[in-house]
Structure 1
């Protein structure tokens, strides 16, 4: 699946389930969300999680920085390519995002916008990583999504502190294509 197909999925349903454990995975599989972000996993369960997500007809993205037992080295990408059917990866590390492209993954570069320095550095990071998407955290601070939308051409996802329908609508109205949340009530919007 390419990034164009993922964009089309987001246009149909812009809410992405973010999971951190088995219970959340079970709920995500029952949800209408077309994609699942595996935010916490291990080398021992990531293949199972991805297989179950794919069997449910959903797209699976693995946050490689938060996968226990894996390092922030290229080996983790090779492992995911060979041992899973993951559609894409999420990382805060520009080099990991850049390397993931050569393994055929859809890439999401996650940014935490905490201050003006992190905001002013975003375009340099994107130029290095060349991601398919960027993810802005916290997504509940929608003013920053608008600022980033004006600054870069890369499609934007929002996550973090997305608690209700109002947060989802606000993020989308500021230019986000999709919104990731671990809040199961948001998944049902």
Structure 2
């Protein structure tokens, strides 16, 4: 059994963010990526997610805000730590925030809506990879901090699904170890104990 799609999915890898370089997707490619990202399971057709684009100078501005917030929380940062925060969003040429947006529904639980956002994030990565770009999905400390989320453009009731860093990668990476199927798959054997 082989097809282009199966071969593609069987070899997908995340690339370290530090190795993602220019160019980023063009505007037309970005529109394709985002359209594909929104074609996910979405019980009730709620679209309980949205995307925030961090590109150009905005990536640097976000880093400055995160470095300042880290200093407010931790006190003066050592030079290396400050540089780390300053470059959080400028290491890759494009970062796309996938945001879980609350959409109340009497029968659809919040966790299911959040998972739809996770599916959108994965489709986003697959679409970027399909167009020849490399990507990496992270969250990091600022995702769980209310002020961090606000600085990144989220409303108080929104949550981070992930930040997808996208760029071009020309190198070769070996595959990381993957779980053995016999360790993660089982036939149903009745209620758990």
TM-score band w.r.t. shorter chain = under 0.3
- Structure richer in strand, relative to its length: 1
TM-score by length of 1: 0.23
